[in-house]
């Protein structure tokens, strides 16, 4: 009956990783279902190894350590998948902490909906954000969905999700490593799943908290991410060579950039805290316009990858 593995990619966040793992050790109602927790250390130096080893004695289930030395979110997820044969895969990010009934709620939602991929709500936390930005940032790092569990039309991101491996994660490396630093690897994955007739579900009770550290709890970081999110629809359409869809998304983006940009300018003049939300919408609109290769912001270990490439050179 042990048919579920949890994959936790991590990159130089020892305290955050410990919080995430301790929340997984406290899961209830899944004792006979969880086969292992796989930690994928994406730091070239393997810095997470001592912390994982120290926590191993506390783990109620096997705690597997994998070192994926090349930084990149897609590479890390693929490495985690290679370390387990479980037919059901749950993903928790290292900056998240799961509620005690998180995994049980995801499993129940999948049974109810029959979905290939199930997602849950996220409560954003930005304790070190400046006061006027904090409400926006906590919404930005969080996500909400329907009030009740059921099927949904649009997928969310991989953080806080459960997937049926055979249909949602086909092949040995389903995440595109070309998205390692820019992100968006889940957009391509889910677009392909949807084209194959895959279904998405929502687990209303599968809540996690996501904690934004000080260097990410800034307007600059959030808007860079918002721009990248905006690029997603256009890039996904371009990847499938659906040029009419690319043009449609670009037109939508242009309208959003003009309308929300004008609104943001007005709110900026009166110093309204609500201006952050319009900055966000404007950035997403611009992203739909400027989706081309080479314009992607880089996150997810870009600095570590640059150092690694410099050493090789």
CATH number at 196 reads: 3.90.550.10
Is 144 found in the same domain as 78?
A: yes
More confident residue, 181 or 165: 165
What is d(CA 122, CA 145) in angstroms, rounded to the nearest whole number?
A: 9
Question: What pLDDT was estimated at residue 250?
Answer: 98
What is d(CA 158, CA 276) in angstroms, rounded to the nearest whole number?
A: 25
Range of the domain at 232: 219-312
Long-range contacts of 302-311 (CB under 8 A, 24+ apart): 302/71, 302/181, 304/11, 304/12, 304/42, 304/43, 304/44, 304/71, 305/70, 305/71, 305/72, 305/180, 305/181, 307/44, 308/44, 308/69, 308/70, 308/71
Q: Which residue has the tokens 């796989």?
A: 38
Is 223 found in the same domain as 204?
A: no
What is d(CA 240, CA 242) in angstroms, rounded to the nearest whole number?
A: 5
**pLDDT tens figures, 106-133:** 999 999 999 999 999 999 999 999 999 9
291, 234 contact by CB (below 8 A)? yes
Is 125 found in the same domain as 104?
A: yes
Q: Distance from first CA to last CA of the chain, Å, rounded?
A: 48
Question: What pLDDT was estimated at residue 310?
Answer: 45
Final residue of a domain: which of 211, 244, 265? 211
Is 182 found in the same domain as 121?
A: yes
Neighbours of 111 (CB within 10 A): 11
pLDDT exceeds 50 at position 309: no
Q: What is the pTM (predicted TM-score) of this model?
A: 0.88
Is 46 found in the same domain as 194?
A: yes
Is 189 found in the same domain as 248?
A: no
Kindly report which listed range (53-62, 103-112, 140-149, 302-311) carries the lowest average pLDDT score: 302-311
Overall domain count for the chain: 2
Is 194 found in the same domain as 226?
A: no
How sure is the predictor about 188, in pLDDT bands with cuts at 50, 70 and 90?
Answer: confident
Is 201 found in the same domain as 243?
A: no
Is 60 found in the same domain as 35?
A: yes
Is 197 found in the same domain as 240?
A: no
Residue 65: which residues within 8 A CB-CB, separation 6 or more?
39, 41, 48, 49, 52, 53
Strand pairing partners for 7?
38, 91
- The pLDDT mean for the chain works out to 93
Is 231 found in the same domain as 207?
A: no
Final residue of a domain: which of 189, 211, 233? 211
Is 230 found in the same domain as 205?
A: no
Final residue of a domain: which of 152, 176, 211? 211
Q: Which residue has the tokens 């003009």?
A: 258
Mean pLDDT confidence for 286-302: 83
More confident residue, 303 or 200: 200
Neighbours of 136 (CB within 10 A): 21
């Amino acid at each position: 009956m042990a048919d579920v593995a949890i994959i936790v990619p991590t990159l130089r966040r020892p305290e955050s990783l410990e919080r995430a793992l301790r929340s997984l050790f406290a899961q209830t109602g899944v004792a006979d279902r969880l086969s292992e927790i796989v930690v994928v250390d994406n730091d070239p130096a393997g810095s997470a190894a001592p912390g994982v080893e120290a926590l191993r004695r506390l783990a109620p289930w096997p705690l597997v350590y994998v070192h994926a030395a090349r930084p990149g979110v897609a590479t890390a997820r693929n490495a985690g998948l290679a370390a387990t044969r479980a037919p059901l895969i749950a993903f928790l990010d290292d900056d998240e902490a799961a509620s005690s009934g998180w995994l049980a709620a995801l499993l129940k939602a999948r049974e109810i909906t029959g979905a290939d991929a199930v997602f849950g709500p996220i409560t954003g936390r930005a304790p070190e954000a400046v006061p006027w930005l904090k409400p926006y940032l906590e919404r930005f790092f969080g996500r909400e969905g329907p009030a009740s569990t059921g099927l949904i039309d649009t997928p969310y991101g991989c953080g806080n999700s459960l997937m049926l491996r055979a249909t949602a994660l086909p092949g040995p490396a389903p995440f595109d490593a070309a998205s390692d630093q820019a992100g968006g690897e889940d957009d391509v994955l889910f677009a392909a799943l949807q084209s194959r007739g895959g279904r998405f579900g929502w687990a209303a009770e599968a809540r996690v908290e996501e904690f934004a550290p000080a260097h990410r709890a800034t307007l600059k970081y959030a808007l860079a991410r918002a721009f990248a999110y905006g690029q997603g629809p256009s890039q996904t359409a371009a990847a499938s060579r659906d040029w009419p869809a690319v043009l449609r998304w670009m037109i939508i983006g242009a309208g959003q950039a003009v309308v929300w940009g004008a609104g943001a300018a007005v709110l900026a003049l009166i110093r309204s805290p609500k201006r952050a939300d319009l900055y966000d919408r404007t950035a997403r609109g611009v992203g739909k316009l400027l989706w081309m290769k080479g314009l992607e912001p880089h996150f997810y270990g870009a600095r570590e990858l640059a150092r690694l490439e410099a050493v090789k050179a």
